[in-house]
Amino acid sequence: MTTTGKQIFTTLESDGTLTVEVAESQFPEPKGNQVLVRMEAAPINPSDLALLVGPADLENADYSPGKIVANMPEPFASGAKGRHGQRLPVGNEGAGEVIATGDSDMAKALMGKRVACVPGTAFSEYSIAEATMCLPLGDISSKDGASAFVNPMTALGFVETAKAEGAKAILHTAAASNLGQMLIRICQEDGMPLVNIVRRKEQVHLLQEMGAEHIVNSSDDDFMKQLRESIDATDAYFGFDPIGGGQMVDSCFKAMEQVAVSKMTEFSRYGSNQAKKMHIYGRLDLGPTILTPSYGFGFTLTGWLLTPFLQNAGMETVTRMRKRVLDNLTTTFRSGYTEEVTLEGMLEKDAVTQYAKMRTGEKYLVTPQG
């Protein structure tokens, strides 16, 4: 027996035309280890926006009820050749009630329960999800549990990665974000020193109220001095950056090297031998990542994604992380939302042009049931 419901799809054509629409879908009966979830809440994360609208021209798009038709500029249109002509569902994570299951014992045990899940199709009235990727929420609401995976597991993953590589401290840019605030609370609980880079004075005050110790404002004239002092105090030569484009990574490497060189007893033309590592995990800035020859050769720039991390971490680590998230979902890993929108409301111009800006403190929650 199939279930009918509304779902959001995104399609990019070879000529750069992007269509995002609410359409009716058929959801098959779950099989094996699958469950069918009646979706009640789903957050709009930056990782969703890359597929949903990307860098399309939303200001000049054509808007009609439940539908957006926009132009995807070059080089982004041709750079996404692999998805041309494909009608793709969207929404990494969300929460809702399991209303049907496959015949595995794990799936059957979830029948009638409220769960957080990662179906990749969460912007929908219903989603098929794997039971292994469902987190029973108990008395926690779908709204409070909707963001139980991406940001919490990412923030925990940063700390797990740092510990595994022997880092003494972590540096994090765009640190006032929802994820950044989670990372602050985790590091406070784990005793991991954390350097937080923000862009505005009000963000400094926000993190101060949270008890963050090392906060650096990139808008201040003495930004680099503040950054060097914080790195010197913490040995934060290991960082994570969601910005990607521009010179923030370069500034971090430069400050790390300047601190390391200041501690050298002998000059070396090759710079310090202090290992410096930055991980890009997002693209808030779609421009080129600019690096300059100012920090020797002992640096590493790499990417970080949640799924590969979880695949390599091992079941014991992942199980421990998931338990920690569930036990602290309304405290350490709580998420706040500035707006709630329906599936149709999600595609209105006022909404999409706001959440697509990915501004700190402006997180949207989709309520598929209206």
How much is the pLDDT for 285? 86
Asked if pLDDT for residue 300 goes beyond 90, the answer is yes
Question: Is the CB of residue 180 less than 8 Å from the CB of residue 188?
Answer: no
Asked if pLDDT for residue 361 goes beyond 80, the answer is no
Give the confidence band of 200 by pLDDT, cuts at 50, 70, 90. Answer: very high
**What is the pLDDT averaged over residues 94-119?**
97
| Cα gap 36→244, rounded to integer Å | 36
Asked if pLDDT for residue 47 goes beyond 90, the answer is no
**What is the pLDDT averaged over residues 150-164?**
96
**What is the pLDDT averaged over residues 43-49?**
92
| Cα gap 162→167, rounded to integer Å | 5
How much is the pLDDT for 18? 98
Beta strands at 299-303 and 276-280: parallel, antiparallel or unpaired: parallel
- Domains of the chain, by residue range, sit at 3-147+336-366, 150-309
CATH code of 3-147+336-366, in short, is 3.90.180.10
Cβ-Cβ contacts under 8 Å for 205 (sequence gap 6 or more):
none
| Cα gap 36→39, rounded to integer Å | 9
CATH code of 150-309, in short, is 3.40.50.720
Tens digits of per-residue pLDDT, 246-262? 999 999 999 999 999 99
**What is the pLDDT averaged over residues 30-52?**
95
Q: Given its phi and psi angles, is residue 143 left (phi above 0), alpha (psi -120 to 50 degrees) or beta?
A: alpha
Q: How many residues does this entry show for the chain?
A: 370
Tens digits of per-residue pLDDT, 201-221? 999 999 999 999 999 999 999
Give the mean pLDDT of the chain.
95
Asked if pLDDT for residue 46 goes beyond 90, the answer is no
| 276-299 exposure pattern, b = at least 16 Cβ within 10 A, e = fewer | bbbbbbbbbbeeebeeeeebbebb
Question: Which residue, 169, 230, 221, is CA-closest to 197?
Answer: 230
| Cα gap 187→191, rounded to integer Å | 6
Please give the angle made by the CA atoms of 214, 215 and 220, to the nearest 5 degrees: 140
Asked if pLDDT for residue 80 goes beyond 80, the answer is yes
